[in-house]
Structure 1
Amino acid sequence: MERSHQEDLHSAGYGLRNQVDHLLDAYEQQQTRLDEVQRQLETLRVPVSSPDRMVEVVVDAQGVLADVALTAAALRRPLDELGRSITETAQAAAQSARQQVQTLLATVTSEFDGATALSDIVEHATDVGDIRTRTEAGDSADDGSVDT
Protein backbone atom coordinates (compact mmCIF):
# COMPACT_ATOMS: atom_id res chain seq x y z
CA MET A 1 0.00 0.00 0.00
CA GLU A 2 1.28 3.38 -0.89
CA ARG A 3 2.52 5.54 2.01
CA SER A 4 0.29 8.49 1.10
CA HIS A 5 -2.77 6.25 1.12
CA GLN A 6 -1.78 4.81 4.51
CA GLU A 7 -1.38 8.33 5.91
CA ASP A 8 -4.81 9.26 4.57
CA LEU A 9 -6.37 6.20 6.22
CA HIS A 10 -4.55 6.90 9.47
CA SER A 11 -5.70 10.53 9.39
CA ALA A 12 -9.29 9.50 8.65
CA GLY A 13 -9.18 6.97 11.49
CA TYR A 14 -7.83 9.59 13.86
CA GLY A 15 -10.57 12.02 12.82
CA LEU A 16 -13.20 9.35 13.30
CA ARG A 17 -11.85 8.51 16.78
CA ASN A 18 -12.01 12.21 17.69
CA GLN A 19 -15.58 12.40 16.46
CA VAL A 20 -16.58 9.30 18.45
CA ASP A 21 -14.85 10.68 21.55
CA HIS A 22 -16.75 13.95 21.11
CA LEU A 23 -20.05 12.10 20.73
CA LEU A 24 -19.38 10.00 23.81
CA ASP A 25 -18.51 13.12 25.84
CA ALA A 26 -21.75 14.73 24.65
CA TYR A 27 -23.67 11.59 25.58
CA GLU A 28 -22.18 11.54 29.09
CA GLN A 29 -23.03 15.21 29.61
CA GLN A 30 -26.57 14.74 28.36
CA GLN A 31 -27.09 11.62 30.43
CA THR A 32 -25.82 13.38 33.55
CA ARG A 33 -28.15 16.32 32.91
CA LEU A 34 -31.12 14.03 32.23
CA ASP A 35 -30.42 12.11 35.44
CA GLU A 36 -30.37 15.43 37.31
CA VAL A 37 -33.68 16.48 35.75
CA GLN A 38 -35.20 13.11 36.59
CA ARG A 39 -34.18 13.55 40.24
CA GLN A 40 -35.66 17.05 40.24
CA LEU A 41 -38.94 15.75 38.83
CA GLU A 42 -39.06 12.90 41.34
CA THR A 43 -38.62 15.27 44.28
CA LEU A 44 -40.66 18.21 42.99
CA ARG A 45 -43.35 19.26 45.45
CA VAL A 46 -45.56 22.26 44.79
CA PRO A 47 -47.38 23.82 47.76
CA VAL A 48 -50.31 26.15 47.10
CA SER A 49 -52.57 27.88 49.62
CA SER A 50 -56.15 28.91 49.07
CA PRO A 51 -56.73 32.68 48.84
CA ASP A 52 -58.09 32.72 52.41
CA ARG A 53 -55.07 30.65 53.64
CA MET A 54 -57.37 28.08 55.29
CA VAL A 55 -56.36 25.28 52.90
CA GLU A 56 -52.90 24.28 51.73
CA VAL A 57 -52.25 21.44 49.31
CA VAL A 58 -49.02 19.94 48.03
CA VAL A 59 -48.77 18.11 44.71
CA ASP A 60 -45.95 16.27 42.98
CA ALA A 61 -44.59 16.84 39.45
CA GLN A 62 -47.57 15.01 37.92
CA GLY A 63 -50.03 17.14 39.88
CA VAL A 64 -50.93 14.23 42.15
CA LEU A 65 -52.08 15.33 45.59
CA ALA A 66 -49.39 14.58 48.19
CA ASP A 67 -50.72 16.48 51.22
CA VAL A 68 -53.65 18.60 52.42
CA ALA A 69 -53.53 20.86 55.47
CA LEU A 70 -56.54 22.65 56.92
CA THR A 71 -56.70 25.35 59.56
CA ALA A 72 -59.14 25.10 62.45
CA ALA A 73 -61.18 27.88 60.85
CA ALA A 74 -61.48 25.81 57.65
CA LEU A 75 -63.16 23.04 59.62
CA ARG A 76 -65.92 25.45 60.69
CA ARG A 77 -66.84 26.27 57.08
CA PRO A 78 -69.78 24.58 55.37
CA LEU A 79 -68.62 21.31 53.84
CA ASP A 80 -69.51 22.32 50.27
CA GLU A 81 -67.38 25.49 50.60
CA LEU A 82 -64.52 23.54 52.14
CA GLY A 83 -64.70 20.91 49.40
CA ARG A 84 -64.73 23.58 46.70
CA SER A 85 -61.76 25.35 48.30
CA ILE A 86 -59.76 22.11 48.48
CA THR A 87 -60.60 21.24 44.86
CA GLU A 88 -59.77 24.71 43.52
CA THR A 89 -56.53 24.83 45.49
CA ALA A 90 -55.53 21.36 44.27
CA GLN A 91 -56.27 22.36 40.68
CA ALA A 92 -54.15 25.50 41.06
CA ALA A 93 -51.31 23.44 42.50
CA ALA A 94 -51.53 20.91 39.65
CA GLN A 95 -51.42 23.74 37.10
CA SER A 96 -48.42 25.25 38.86
CA ALA A 97 -46.67 21.86 38.82
CA ARG A 98 -47.32 21.49 35.07
CA GLN A 99 -45.84 24.94 34.47
CA GLN A 100 -42.76 24.16 36.56
CA VAL A 101 -42.21 20.87 34.72
CA GLN A 102 -42.63 22.55 31.33
CA THR A 103 -40.16 25.27 32.32
CA LEU A 104 -37.63 22.69 33.49
CA LEU A 105 -38.00 20.62 30.33
CA ALA A 106 -37.81 23.70 28.11
CA THR A 107 -34.53 24.63 29.78
CA VAL A 108 -33.10 21.16 29.21
CA THR A 109 -34.38 21.04 25.65
CA SER A 110 -32.76 24.38 24.82
CA GLU A 111 -29.48 23.15 26.36
CA PHE A 112 -29.52 20.20 23.95
CA ASP A 113 -30.77 21.96 20.81
CA GLY A 114 -28.46 21.04 17.96
CA ALA A 115 -26.76 18.31 19.97
CA THR A 116 -26.48 14.81 18.63
CA ALA A 117 -29.42 12.72 19.81
CA LEU A 118 -28.48 10.20 22.48
CA SER A 119 -30.21 7.44 20.57
CA ASP A 120 -27.88 8.12 17.63
CA ILE A 121 -24.97 7.14 19.88
CA VAL A 122 -26.37 4.54 22.27
CA GLU A 123 -29.10 2.09 21.42
CA HIS A 124 -32.24 2.48 23.61
CA ALA A 125 -31.03 5.77 25.12
CA THR A 126 -33.67 8.31 26.12
CA ASP A 127 -33.60 11.54 24.17
CA VAL A 128 -34.79 14.91 25.43
CA GLY A 129 -37.37 14.88 22.64
CA ASP A 130 -38.77 11.60 23.99
CA ILE A 131 -39.24 13.17 27.43
CA ARG A 132 -40.89 16.24 25.92
CA THR A 133 -43.22 14.08 23.81
CA ARG A 134 -44.29 12.01 26.83
CA THR A 135 -44.84 15.14 28.92
CA GLU A 136 -46.87 16.85 26.20
CA ALA A 137 -48.94 13.69 25.70
CA GLY A 138 -49.66 13.64 29.43
CA ASP A 139 -50.69 17.30 29.37
CA SER A 140 -53.10 16.79 26.47
CA ALA A 141 -54.74 13.90 28.32
CA ASP A 142 -55.13 16.01 31.47
CA ASP A 143 -58.31 18.04 31.59
CA GLY A 144 -57.22 19.91 34.72
CA SER A 145 -59.69 18.15 36.98
CA VAL A 146 -58.77 16.54 40.23
CA ASP A 147 -60.18 13.11 41.02
CA THR A 148 -61.58 12.79 44.53
Structure 2
Amino acid sequence: MHNTANSVSEVTVSGTFHIRIPKSPDHPPIIPVVQAGAVGTQSTGQLSDEDMAAFRSNVEEMLDASGPGTNVNERLVNVITACICEGIDTAGWIIAVARTFGFKRGHVGSVLTYSAAGRSKTPLWRCNSDGHYSLLD
Protein backbone atom coordinates (compact mmCIF):
# COMPACT_ATOMS: atom_id res chain seq x y z
CA MET A 1 0.00 0.00 0.00
CA HIS A 2 1.22 3.49 -0.69
CA ASN A 3 0.06 7.04 -0.35
CA THR A 4 0.96 9.55 -3.01
CA ALA A 5 0.27 13.23 -3.35
CA ASN A 6 -0.50 13.71 -7.03
CA SER A 7 -1.03 17.44 -6.66
CA VAL A 8 -2.51 19.93 -4.27
CA SER A 9 -5.91 18.64 -5.33
CA GLU A 10 -5.80 14.98 -4.29
CA VAL A 11 -4.24 12.21 -2.25
CA THR A 12 -4.38 8.63 -3.53
CA VAL A 13 -4.26 5.66 -1.19
CA SER A 14 -3.87 2.29 -2.86
CA GLY A 15 -3.75 -1.28 -1.70
CA THR A 16 -6.55 -3.83 -1.91
CA PHE A 17 -8.74 -1.02 -3.23
CA HIS A 18 -7.90 2.45 -4.50
CA ILE A 19 -9.36 5.59 -3.00
CA ARG A 20 -8.71 9.13 -4.19
CA ILE A 21 -9.40 11.71 -1.52
CA PRO A 22 -10.03 15.23 -2.87
CA LYS A 23 -8.05 17.84 -0.97
CA SER A 24 -8.02 21.59 -1.10
CA PRO A 25 -5.67 24.07 0.53
CA ASP A 26 -8.60 25.51 2.53
CA HIS A 27 -10.32 22.33 3.62
CA PRO A 28 -9.30 18.77 4.49
CA PRO A 29 -10.67 15.84 2.45
CA ILE A 30 -14.40 15.30 2.74
CA ILE A 31 -15.21 12.01 1.03
CA PRO A 32 -13.25 9.43 -0.88
CA VAL A 33 -13.76 9.27 -4.62
CA VAL A 34 -13.70 5.62 -5.60
CA GLN A 35 -12.05 4.87 -8.92
CA ALA A 36 -14.41 2.99 -11.23
CA GLY A 37 -13.64 -0.70 -11.41
CA ALA A 38 -11.14 -0.55 -8.54
CA VAL A 39 -13.21 -2.79 -6.28
CA GLY A 40 -16.11 -5.18 -6.50
CA THR A 41 -19.16 -3.91 -4.67
CA GLN A 42 -20.90 -7.27 -4.47
CA SER A 43 -21.21 -8.51 -0.92
CA THR A 44 -19.58 -11.83 -0.27
CA GLY A 45 -20.77 -11.84 3.32
CA GLN A 46 -17.22 -12.25 4.56
CA LEU A 47 -13.64 -11.22 4.02
CA SER A 48 -10.64 -13.41 4.64
CA ASP A 49 -8.46 -12.46 7.59
CA GLU A 50 -5.80 -11.28 5.13
CA ASP A 51 -8.27 -9.14 3.16
CA MET A 52 -9.71 -7.65 6.36
CA ALA A 53 -6.21 -6.81 7.63
CA ALA A 54 -5.40 -5.11 4.30
CA PHE A 55 -8.72 -3.24 4.39
CA ARG A 56 -8.12 -2.05 7.97
CA SER A 57 -4.61 -0.91 7.07
CA ASN A 58 -5.91 1.03 4.06
CA VAL A 59 -8.66 2.70 6.07
CA GLU A 60 -6.22 3.63 8.85
CA GLU A 61 -3.94 5.18 6.24
CA MET A 62 -6.87 7.02 4.69
CA LEU A 63 -7.90 8.39 8.10
CA ASP A 64 -4.32 9.46 8.82
CA ALA A 65 -4.15 11.20 5.42
CA SER A 66 -7.33 13.13 6.15
CA GLY A 67 -5.54 15.07 8.89
CA PRO A 68 -6.31 15.89 12.50
CA GLY A 69 -8.61 18.83 11.66
CA THR A 70 -11.09 16.72 9.72
CA ASN A 71 -14.60 16.70 11.17
CA VAL A 72 -15.57 13.40 12.84
CA ASN A 73 -18.64 13.10 10.57
CA GLU A 74 -16.48 13.44 7.47
CA ARG A 75 -14.09 10.79 8.80
CA LEU A 76 -17.04 8.46 9.44
CA VAL A 77 -18.44 9.05 5.94
CA ASN A 78 -15.03 8.03 4.59
CA VAL A 79 -15.08 4.82 6.64
CA ILE A 80 -18.66 3.92 5.67
CA THR A 81 -17.92 4.56 1.98
CA ALA A 82 -14.79 2.42 2.13
CA CYS A 83 -16.77 -0.37 3.85
CA ILE A 84 -19.47 -0.38 1.18
CA CYS A 85 -16.83 -0.37 -1.57
CA GLU A 86 -15.15 -3.41 -0.04
CA GLY A 87 -18.44 -5.35 0.22
CA ILE A 88 -18.97 -4.66 3.92
CA ASP A 89 -22.49 -3.62 3.15
CA THR A 90 -24.98 -4.46 5.91
CA ALA A 91 -25.74 -2.08 8.78
CA GLY A 92 -24.53 -4.51 11.43
CA TRP A 93 -21.27 -5.24 9.67
CA ILE A 94 -20.60 -1.57 8.84
CA ILE A 95 -21.28 -0.58 12.46
CA ALA A 96 -19.03 -3.34 13.79
CA VAL A 97 -16.15 -2.33 11.51
CA ALA A 98 -16.56 1.41 12.16
CA ARG A 99 -16.52 0.76 15.92
CA THR A 100 -13.04 -0.76 15.55
CA PHE A 101 -11.90 2.68 14.34
CA GLY A 102 -13.34 4.35 17.46
CA PHE A 103 -16.76 5.45 16.19
CA LYS A 104 -19.82 5.02 18.41
CA ARG A 105 -22.57 2.60 17.40
CA GLY A 106 -25.34 5.22 17.47
CA HIS A 107 -23.31 7.73 15.50
CA VAL A 108 -22.54 5.18 12.77
CA GLY A 109 -26.17 4.08 12.55
CA SER A 110 -27.37 7.67 12.41
CA VAL A 111 -24.97 8.73 9.61
CA LEU A 112 -25.63 5.51 7.67
CA THR A 113 -29.41 5.95 7.86
CA TYR A 114 -29.38 9.72 7.29
CA SER A 115 -27.57 9.46 3.96
CA ALA A 116 -29.49 6.37 2.83
CA ALA A 117 -32.79 8.16 3.47
CA GLY A 118 -31.73 10.98 1.13
CA ARG A 119 -31.63 13.58 3.89
CA SER A 120 -27.94 14.37 3.39
CA LYS A 121 -26.94 17.31 1.17
CA THR A 122 -24.82 14.86 -0.80
CA PRO A 123 -26.20 11.34 -0.28
CA LEU A 124 -23.57 8.75 -1.12
CA TRP A 125 -25.32 5.42 -0.60
CA ARG A 126 -28.71 3.75 -0.44
CA CYS A 127 -30.11 0.79 1.41
CA ASN A 128 -31.48 -1.77 -1.02
CA SER A 129 -34.60 -3.82 -0.30
CA ASP A 130 -32.44 -6.76 0.79
CA GLY A 131 -30.80 -4.66 3.54
CA HIS A 132 -27.49 -4.28 1.72
CA TYR A 133 -26.06 -0.83 1.16
CA SER A 134 -24.63 0.28 -2.17
CA LEU A 135 -23.07 3.49 -3.43
CA LEU A 136 -25.13 5.84 -5.55
CA ASP A 137 -24.03 6.17 -9.14
Scaled by the length of structure 1, what TM-score is found?
0.28
Higher RCO structure, 1 or 2 (CA under 8 Å, sep 6+): 1
Scaled by the length of structure 2, what TM-score is found?
0.29
Please identify the structure whose Cα radius of gyration is greater: 1
Q: Which has the higher helix share?
A: 1
